[in-house]
Amino acid sequence: MTYSVNSILTVAECDALLAIMNREKSNLLRRKGILLFQRNNYTSTATEVETELLEVNAQLTMLNMIIPTFPEGRAKEDYMEKQSKFEWRKKALTNKKADYNGLELLNKEYELTCIDHRIDLADEYIAALTARKAEL
């Protein structure tokens, strides 16, 4: 993009604009780092939740098959208690899985792309300001 840097008349004006843009670029780079961390964390958490949900479902299937075979008594009650805990865990994991849907990951990737573009624009503007400063 072409900037109207010829309207800048002094080195002091260039320095002021460069300071603003360098601060803006620093903020963009910091935001990019945060988003990269969130995206990576998001991806690994989603995988972990899915894996644990599969394990819990397998345990529940096994318990649902064996509980009816036990006679009434302490052993059956213990297995029913385990079954209840696994059902609660399944519900919690299902809710967490909903929080980590693919749409949120896409939003993070979109934000990263936008920030990369803004960093490129900031670099262009800084280069134009630096060139104008050299002219003065």
Residue entry with tokens 């967490």: 96
CA atoms within 13 A on the CB side of 124: 10
119, burial (CB in 10 Å: exposed 0-12, middle 13-18, buried 19+): middle
In one-letter notation, the amino acid at residue 9 is: L
Q: What pTM was estimated for this model as a whole?
A: 0.68
CA atoms within 13 A on the CB side of 33: 6
What token pair was written down for 135? Answer: 């002219």
- 56-113: per-residue pLDDT in tens? 999 999 999 999 998 999 999 999 999 999 999 999 999 888 877 778 888 889 999 9
Collapsed DSSP state (helix, strand, coil) of residue 9? coil
The angle at the Cα of 110, spanning 118 to 25, to the nearest 5 degrees, equals 20
- 99-123: per-residue pLDDT in tens? 777 788 888 899 999 999 999 999 9
Please give the radius of gyration of the chain, using alpha carbons only, rounded to the nearest integer.
28
- 20-37: per-residue pLDDT in tens? 999 999 999 999 999 999
